[in-house]
Structure 1
Amino acid sequence: ENTHEYRPPPRTLDITINGAPIKLKYCFTCKIFRPPRASHCSMCDNCVENFDHHCPWVGNCVGRRNYRYFFLFVTSLTFLCLFIFGFSVTHIVLLNTLCFPLFNTLTLPTVLEILICFFSIWSVVGLSGFHSYLVGRSLTTNEDIKGTWSKKRN
């Protein structure tokens, strides 16, 4: 007879760090008590500390170890879109002031480039602005959407 029954661990564990009570959640997939602000990513199938989101463009989770690189990537992409758009428009304006007719300077590739940059600017600047807001509030995208961390802080 087997007298040892399997008992799953408790769902939460209450600990105290520097006099502050902290509740750790148990991840049944990873079989660990997750640190505060960590979440399990179903795409990567592991727990990520300070989990922000799983980024399909980068192909991995954005969290504690790589958030600054993701933020720098989005910010530099914003400057690149603004740079390309600004200099494409400047190029057409300068060509038109040098007595070239407008229909010769507005080629299909130039128009497509300006249109793509114009619409990319709005999405990339919006993403950059949103992550600047998150950095200022010390939040992650996951916490902002769920409203979990800000409730605990207030």
Structure 2
Amino acid sequence: MVTVSSRRHWNKASSQNDDVDFDKAQSSWLKTFYRWLITIDGDPEVNKGRVYQSLPNVTNYMFFLGGRFRTVRCRSNLAIFTGFTVVAPMVLFSIFETGRIWHSRDGYKLLVIFFYYFWAMCLSFFVRTATSDPGILPRNIHLGQLKRNFQIPQEYYSTISLPAPQTIRGDIQAKIELKYCTSCRIWRPPRASHCSTCEACILTHDHHCIWVNNCIGQRNYRYFILFLASAILSSIFLIANCSIHIYHHRNLPSKVPVTILLLIYGGLAIIYPMLLLIYHILMTGRQQTTREFLREANSKNPIFTKIHSIEHNPFDRGNFTANMLSLILQPRGISTICPQERHGDRDWRFVSVADFHSFEKMETPL
């Protein structure tokens, strides 16, 4: 017969177990939510086989909101500065300028509307450029033989040259070069390159932009160009609105100090994006990426290097406009690694592989 004391002890123990299970469930839920909110590295306890939870193990990417946004961790704070320089003038303009210009007797509403329109474009394309997939390629697709411990064969260190299908200049036929990435363990497609900052290979890699803290590649190049163009146009309309306001107070400029500040800001802010946009127009018109240009020029600084066409360029269409449009408006293509997708256990795309190793001896967090 169960005594009253034993029954009370059993009920107390059962209640304690329920509390422990509830605390564990709550802790697991909070941890899962935190990992969904921001994923800096993988966690075996809450890893549900999502790509955004495993990709940080082999790259320098960190993800937000379940892989919908990304950035490169522990690198540069210049992207935050860039975002601030985009938002700050709009806030000041809205507080000190919009109402006065909008209700002025001459009526300059259209200029105000244009400013906000291009500013919204600038902010939108800045976020897309900084947080979208530039075109990263999966790792560990082309591996060595098992009997050699997956060591990279010596011939993989060579460059493979393939005949270009279109361009023949004189007696020399243009070649397309293919290289093996010893970090990602893949044969890179034409024009793809490895970014040491992101620790990933990028399709049609142009450069890694410190101002957005992301690579500029095939899948976000058009966003980058539109970001520059909209930044220039929003600065132009900011200058136009502020100039009108200052003109109306030309006898008492001390009454519009913020207007003068915004005018100076707009004049300074337009310089760098305009130079960068002109540079990329000239580059794309010659069917070159920044990496190809610097490699050909044997330089690390594009500012003081004269832009010229690459001899026997297999991608050159022979026309400036056709080259520019084909590179800027090239198809984004599908994402080779979608952060929201699930993957199976022991997926080697998300495993860091050393130079000398055996998969049978490796311990992975997947």
With the shorter chain as reference, the TM-score category is 0.7 to 0.9
Q: Judging changes above 3 Å, is the alpha-carbon distance between structure 1 residues 122 and 21 closer, same or farther for their aligned structure 2 residues?
A: closer
Partner of 1:94: 248
Instruction: Give the partner amino acid of 2:255.
Output: N
Deviations 1:73-102 (A, max 9, x none): 111111111111122112101233xxx523
Partner of 2:156: 10
If you compute each CA radius of gyration, which structure gives the higher value, 1 or 2?
A: 2
Query: By how many angstroms is 1:145 displaced?
Result: 2.2
TM-score, normalisation: structure 2: 0.36
**Number of equivalenced pairs:** 146
Gaps of 5+ in 2: 1-146, 167-173, 298-308, 315-366
Gaps of 5+ in 1: none
Contact 2:242/2:260 (<8 A) preserved: no
How far apart, CA to CA, are the structure 2 residues paired with 1:14 and 1:101? 69
Correspondence 1:1-154 to 2 at 5 A: 4-5=147-148, 6=151, 8=153, 9-11=155-157, 12-15=159-162, 18=165, 22-96=176-250, 100-105=251-256, 107=257, 109-147=258-296, 150-153=310-313
Query: SS at the partner of 2:156?
Result: coil
How far apart, CA to CA, are the structure 1 residues paired with 2:179 and 2:289? 18
Q: Judging changes above 3 Å, is the alpha-carbon distance between structure 1 residues 66 and 129 closer, same or farther for their aligned structure 2 residues?
A: same
How far apart, CA to CA, are the structure 1 residues paired with 2:199 and 2:282? 28
Contact 1:24/1:33 (<8 A) preserved: yes
Contact 2:249/2:255 (<8 A) preserved: no
Identity rate of aligned residues, in percent?
Answer: 36
| TM-align CA RMSD | 2.5
Identify the structure with the greater strand proportion: 1
How far apart, CA to CA, are the structure 2 residues paired with 1:18 and 1:104? 66
Query: By how many angstroms is 1:48 displaced?
Result: 0.8
Query: By how many angstroms is 1:22 displaced?
Result: 3.3
How far apart, CA to CA, are the structure 2 residues paired with 1:85 and 1:45? 41
How far apart, CA to CA, are the structure 2 residues paired with 1:7 and 1:142? 26
Instruction: Give the partner amino acid of 2:280.
Output: H
Deviations 1:43-80 (A, max 9, x none): 11111111111122323211111101111111111111
RCO higher in 1 or 2 (8 Å CA, sep ≥ 6)?
A: 2
How far apart, CA to CA, are the structure 1 residues paired with 2:233 and 2:196? 33
TM-score, normalisation: structure 1: 0.80
Contact 1:54/1:61 (<8 A) preserved: yes
Query: By how many angstroms is 1:142 displaced?
Result: 1.6
Query: SS at the partner of 1:153?
Result: coil
Instruction: Give the partner amino acid of 2:203.
Output: E
Q: Judging changes above 3 Å, is the alpha-carbon distance between structure 1 residues 110 and 32 closer, same or farther for their aligned structure 2 residues?
A: same
Query: SS at the partner of 1:36?
Result: coil
Q: Judging changes above 3 Å, is the alpha-carbon distance between structure 1 residues 18 and 74 closer, same or farther for their aligned structure 2 residues?
A: same
How far apart, CA to CA, are the structure 2 residues paired with 1:134 and 1:18? 22
